[in-house]
Structure 1
Amino acid sequence: MPMTPNLTPDPPTEADLTALDNKLSKRFIKLDPGGYFLIYLDRDQGLICAKHFTNTINEKGLACDPDTGQPLPTRGGVNRQETRLYTGRTAKELCIAIFENPDMPCPIHYLDHAAYLGREFVRAEIALINNQDYVQD
């Protein structure tokens, strides 16, 4: 009796998934006019923190400081005051605080931005649970 070939592909390796993630991180992303978030961990309080900053988008698609109109640098520190600090013990708690607060309009205008934040909050939660470093993508 002839043997049938195995048509089930091998599961991707960790290296395959890392390469795919790195490739996808380099795609073009249209900036959200509602602003951006800087995500970090407060280990002393056991919290995932997300500072929200407003911005404007210029004709070249660059995020600019709404007060000065100058493009925001992509590297290095920016000395700006956040519009709001969101915190949560889990990714879900943080998402609910941002997306489902009846007393505060949601600062997110684009679904891809919402999906990105959800992914980042899960990564931050995993880092918090496992006592690992977290660096926002």
Structure 2
Amino acid sequence: MRVVVQRSKQASVTVNGEITGQIQYGVVLLVGVTHEDGEEEAKYVADKIANLRIFEDEEGKMNHSLLDQKGQVLSISQFTLYGDTRKGRRPNFMEAARPEVAEPLYDRFNQLLLEKGIDVQTGVFGAMMDVSLINDGPVTLIIEK
């Protein structure tokens, strides 16, 4: 599982002209799933994201987590995170899990975050989405398990 985490002041995702998810403060997650991923990877990544200290304290140091700040999550499925560009000019997506494998695990990952008390908004799995965000910092990290 590979997730790009972007600290955000506000963000939204639109599908076919309609907003399907929107947050005011927290993180935008671009979530990729590969063939070997399962419950263990989803739990590890959800726990890491919930507790990652990437929000500033009163002294300007990154000492607070998403849980500490009561931040929100905008979670976007992103199979292209497993695009291999080493050969040729067209990315190869063979490492991305097929939708019938990826979608249930993506849903489970979001559920794990919800179970931690985090407000999770999402796009639509497999849809063409327009994602808009104000990146805070910018702070952008990649988490992989």
User: Would the TM-score normalized by the shorter structure come out above 0.5?
Assistant: no
Normalising by structure 2, report the TM-score.
0.25
- Bigger Rg, which one: 1
* Superposition TM-score, scaled by structure 1 size: 0.26
Structure number having the greater strand percentage: 2
Which one scores higher on RCO, CA 8 angstroms, separation ≥ 6?
A: 2
